[in-house]
Amino acid sequence: MYENKRLGFLFVLPFVLGVLLFKLFPFVASFALSFSQYDLIDPPEFVGLANYQELATGDPLFRKSLGVTLLFAALAVPLRVGFALFIAHVLNFKMRGINFFRAAFYLPSILGGSIAVAVLWRFIFSKNGLVNLLLSQLGIEPIAWLADEHYSMWTIVLLFTWQFGSAMVIFLAALQNVSVSLYEAAECDGASKFQQFWRITVPLITPVIFFNLIMQMVHAFQEFNGPYLITEGGPLSSTYVLALYIYDQSFRFFNLGYGAALSWVLFALVGGLSAFSFWSSKYWVFYAGEKERK
């Protein structure tokens, strides 16, 4: 019965329809839209490459937000993935209370996307909020986290990093698959804990590091709630990420064609970086299972 081709296809049909209707069609449509001018009222008008030309030459806000997005991803992704790996490593031992710690570290990444947490963040980084209260105890002058363009980026980077739990859980699963005998052998040979981590743990879980890097990168490039709610893109556009700019152009100013072009730039960026990662992965990602399977 598992060979029953029609039945299998019948079960998968919702997905096929869903992909065509809600993914593929919008994907193609947004590409087409990016060559037009459309304000929701008059019918779309074909303008060729005009939107992209505008992006490339005449739009300082685009350049700014592109830079902000790249900076955000460059800071936030390594921090989140690095933290996730480090904590997973420390947690990967049989110990009492491990479930408490797992839950404690996971909770922020579950709640982190919520508006309530954004409110909280905006509040603890406000001028007389919790963070500055703590700093004043240490004798440090209060910092205008949200109003000073040198610090505003860090608040949303910290919010992103704080939610390392989901990546951590995936790392934990991978770490539990690493054969203990490898560590035993290394210990006999006198390898330090640090060496064990870099020489055994890291190489063996490179596929998972790779997976987490890609997924978190896709997330980082789309980050919207933090910059929208906490810093509102400011001050001086220092947290004005592309996702915000796309939202503004599309749904606030109703420049739908321009918004579509922007979103295609974002897509090209994520696609290009993913492709690069996949290409580079053959040099640093080690699939232990591959050889066994062949």
Among 151, 191, 206, 235, binds another protein (CB under 8 A): 206
CA 150 to CA 133: how far, in whole Å?
A: 20
Among 46-54, 60-68, 125-133, 139-147, which window interacts with another protein (CB under 8 A)? 125-133
CA 126 to CA 270: how far, in whole Å?
A: 32
Instruction: For the segment 170-189, give every residue that binds another protein (CB under 8 A).
Output: 170, 172-174, 177-178, 180-181, 183-184, 187
Smaller CB separation from another protein, 23 or 63: 23
Among 70, 215, 235, 281, binds another protein (CB under 8 A): 215
Smaller CB separation from another protein, 56 or 278: 278
Binding pattern for the stretch 230-269 against another protein, x by CB under 8 A and - elsewhere: -------------x--xx--xx----x--xx--xx-xx--
Using the CB atoms, write b or e for 37-54: b if 16+ within 10 Å.
Answer: bbeeeeebeebeeebbee
Among 101, 198, 253, 284, binds another protein (CB under 8 A): 101
Told to check if 294 binds another protein by CB under 8 A, we report no
CA 79 to CA 119: how far, in whole Å?
A: 23
**Shortest Å distance, C-beta 112 to another protein:** 8
Of 97, 67, 49, which is closest to residue 236 (Cα–Cα)? 67
CA 257 to CA 250: how far, in whole Å?
A: 8
**Shortest Å distance, C-beta 223 to another protein:** 10
**Shortest Å distance, C-beta 256 to another protein:** 6
Smaller CB separation from another protein, 50 or 215: 215
**Shortest Å distance, C-beta 293 to another protein:** 14
Of 76, 32, 46, 6, which is closest to residue 216 (Cα–Cα)? 76
Among 68, 73, 156, 205, binds another protein (CB under 8 A): 205
Of 65, 61, 40, 86, which is closest to residue 205 (Cα–Cα)? 86
β-bridge partners, 46 = 36
* 8 A C-beta contact, residue 124 and residue 162: no
Smaller CB separation from another protein, 151 or 286: 286
**Shortest Å distance, C-beta 224 to another protein:** 6
Using the CB atoms, write b or e for 205-230: b if 16+ within 10 Å.
Answer: bbbbbbbbbbebbebbbebebbbbbb
Told to check if 140 binds another protein by CB under 8 A, we report no
Told to check if 113 binds another protein by CB under 8 A, we report yes
Instruction: For the segment 35-64, give every residue that binds another protein (CB under 8 A).
Output: none
Of 148, 158, 147, 151, which is closest to residue 75 (Cα–Cα)? 158
Among 56-64, 66-74, 127-135, 147-155, which window interacts with another protein (CB under 8 A)? 127-135
Strand, helix or coil for residue 131: helix
Smaller CB separation from another protein, 69 or 152: 69
Task: Please state, in angstroms and as integers, the Cα–Cα distance from residue 133 to each residue in 128, 159, 161, following that order.
Answer: 7, 19, 22
Smaller CB separation from another protein, 56 or 173: 173
